[in-house]
Amino acid sequence: MTRPVPWLAVSLLAVGVSVSEASADSSAERDFAQGIAACTSCHGEQGEGGDARFPYYPRLAGQSAPYLYQQLRAFQTGERDYALMNRIVSDLPDDYLREIAKYFARQTPPKLDLPVNSDAAQLELGRKLVQESPQSADGKACIECHGATLAGDSREHAPAIAGQHQPYLSAALQDWKAGKRPDLGASGMAAIAASMSDQEINAAAAYLASLPVTARPDETLPLPKPDTREAVGSNAQGIATEQSGLYYPMPDTASDQVRRGRYLAIVGDCAGCHTQDVDQPFAGGVRLDSPFGPMFGPNITPHPEHGIGGWTAEEFREAMLDGVAPGHKYLYPAFPFTSYALVKPEDVDAIKAWLDTLEPLDVPSREHDLQWPFSMRPLMLGWRLLFFWPDPFEASSTHSDTWNRGAYLVKGLGHCEACHSPRNLLGAGKNDEALGGGVVEQWRAPNISSNPDYGIGSWSLEALQTFLKTGQAPDHTIAAGPMRQVIHRSLQFLTDEDLHAIAYYLKNAEAQNESAPAATAEAGPNAPSDPKTGLGAYAEHCASCHGRDGRGKAPDYPPLAGNPTVTDADPTNVLRVILEGGFAAATDDEPHPHSMPPFGPSMSDEQIAAVASYVRSNWGNRASPASPQQVNGLR
């Protein structure tokens, strides 16, 4: 007799498996949404867009993944200029950008009751403009690119525009009309907007905002691949992976000198100033904000006209070690030749040998935009007479090889001292306060001397080495601002021996007291904030990740109690982190790092100053309060 099959049990089991799988998928979606809080905090957890208070954050849900990816790439390369977005995505790996685009693309567009400021006549004008009147030069109406339901068509680089906020649509069209928004792909929006009057722009935006949101038809189009040069494999120093290959390409047949040169270029973080777009490695374009005006990293590919293709090895050595380019052109100290003067000539030659293997890219270097009289290069001769006395690096006979290697990297090629030391009014480093803290692009480069109270003296050697490798020291802090980018582009690829040497040297370097140079303009009085306001804002916006006790949740959410970023004498960094949010350092070990929401768009100067003051004065923290004036100076 055949035993009866318990069909009910099997059915229930199948249902249970199905529910479990769905639950797992849902949980994974929630975890991903939480991880990209820097995006979802403005655009909504499901990409539904900003509410009536924040109508300028567009709906991302249901947009074409290729379109979203294209926009993220444009923010990353600087083609689209919105400072907050530029900083948030600046150093995210390409596959993470793709995952973010896919996440929002698969969300169901929600039905929102958006306010529309218009009358019937304006809506009718808008309908004709969108549905009937061809505004573009090639005779296409809006529906011909954006689809019959205006749900978008990635093949035309056309997003979904039905049901977007009216203010956002109006602002986008006005930006295209004024030439402030790039016409990516083949959309032709710049020409269309230029042909429209302000009345027509407002009418079209009102009509589009009044339409229901419809799901975009399923499509199987792949996301476009960036025009990146092929990543290469490991070199003798163990520098591997696609990320290093994208920034630091190398031929398969490279000599030992070229391989060593690439590693040394990674140590020096050359990509930080010379690679704006990974599709054009070392073609320059990176903007550096200095107290004297914006500066731009030049093209250093071997292009004969726009790069260094015509430079001899001796000329390259003179630029690196003496700060003088061919034609007796004095270089500004934003290029850290004062540190590179300590680099061994054979190491400089190896870097040049590697640079000569790069693809010569026909990209003109952008001129600096310095204020007068700093724009007059001959003045650098006087600066050099006052502040530049180059000497080669000499190993100390009283210290170990590890200490000497660390000193060579920190003082010379790695130029840690150049960023983490204070400077005088003319931009020269104060050598007697080396590693005592400095200012980099309006961020505070903290004291990293061996001082146990103000520097890293209380950190274990292992914690410091882990931080240099990953950007995270679970008991201390997470890298932010320029340091996050240094770890992403450079430090994560250093050998363990070199990271150990840097950490060992820093732990044994001369202790410096807190100098706290102001990273902002005059901040005004540091008036204490209302403790209740700070506590309330912290409980609402911060406690769920960092804990009510300020201990955080390792490894993604750092502690605030005892966090040197929080307790620094200068509150600049903690204020910028609250204002701008952003992702932790992306590394090969953690290519999809968690992020923190930017609170600048949703919180007032007073609220941000209050919450910063609260975290700086609780859980054993004893730092001075922040002021609304300081917050305003950083916006």
- Tens digit of each residue's pLDDT (9 = 90 or more) over 239-254: 444 444 567 888 888 9
Higher per-residue pLDDT: 104 or 148: 104
Mean pLDDT of 561-567: 90
Mean pLDDT of 370-398: 89
Assigned token pair, 104:
């929002």
Residue 355 backbone phi and psi in degrees, to 5: -60, -35
Looking at the DSSP assignment, which residues form a beta bridge with residue 227?
A: none
Collapsed DSSP state (helix, strand, coil) of residue 284: strand
Give the range among 103-107, 188-192, 626-630 with minimum mean pLDDT: 188-192
Mean pLDDT of 6-23: 43
Contact 154, 66 (CB under 8 A): yes
Q: Are strands 324-325 and 329-330 parallel, antiparallel or unpaired?
A: antiparallel
pLDDT of residue 115: 76
Distance, in Å, from the CA atom of 357 to the CA atom of 249, rounded to the nearest integer, reads: 9
Mean pLDDT of 156-179: 90
Higher per-residue pLDDT: 214 or 612: 612
pLDDT of residue 608: 95
Share of the chain above pLDDT 90, in %: 54
At 567-585, the pLDDT tens digits run 888 999 999 999 999 999 9
Distance, in Å, from the CA atom of 87 to the CA atom of 68, rounded to the nearest integer, reads: 17
Reported in sequence order, the residue ranges of 355-512 that DSSP labels E, i.e. its strands, are 438-440, 443-445, 472-473, 477-478
pLDDT at 589 exceeding the cut of 70 = yes
Q: What are the residue ranges of CATH 1.10.760.10 in the chain?
A: 35-216, 531-634
Q: Quote the CATH superfamily of domain 531-634.
A: Cytochrome c-like domain (1.10.760.10)
Nearest to 47 by CA among 157, 181, 160: 160
Q: Can you name the CATH fold of 402-508?
A: Cytochrome Bc1 Complex; Chain D, domain 2 (1.10.760)
Contacts of 5 (CB under 8 A, 6+ apart): none
Give the range among 132-146, 290-304, 372-386 with minimum mean pLDDT: 132-146
pLDDT of residue 1: 39
Contact 114, 165 (CB under 8 A): yes
* DSSP annotation string for 547-605: -TTS--BTTTB---TT-HHHH-SSTHHHHHHHHH-EEPPP-SS-SS--EE---TTTS-H
Distance, in Å, from the CA atom of 569 to the CA atom of 563, rounded to the nearest integer, reads: 12
Mean pLDDT of 111-138: 79
What pTM value is reported for the model? 0.85
Average pLDDT, the chain: 85
Looking at the DSSP assignment, which residues form a beta bridge with residue 595?
A: 583
Contact 415, 320 (CB under 8 A): no
pLDDT at 10 exceeding the cut of 90 = no
pLDDT at 495 exceeding the cut of 50 = yes
At 274-319, the pLDDT tens digits run 998 888 899 999 998 888 899 999 999 999 999 999 999 999 999 9
Give the range among 125-134, 400-409, 416-425 with minimum mean pLDDT: 125-134
pLDDT of residue 553: 87
> The tokens 């429209």 sit on which residue?
196
Higher per-residue pLDDT: 182 or 134: 182
Contacts of 270 (CB under 8 A, 6+ apart): 282, 300, 351
Q: How confident is the model at residue 32 (pLDDT cuts 50, 70, 90)?
A: very high
Say which CATH class 35-216 falls into: mainly alpha
Nearest to 525 by CA among 613, 447, 436, 620: 613
pLDDT at 506 exceeding the cut of 90 = yes
Contact 633, 626 (CB under 8 A): no
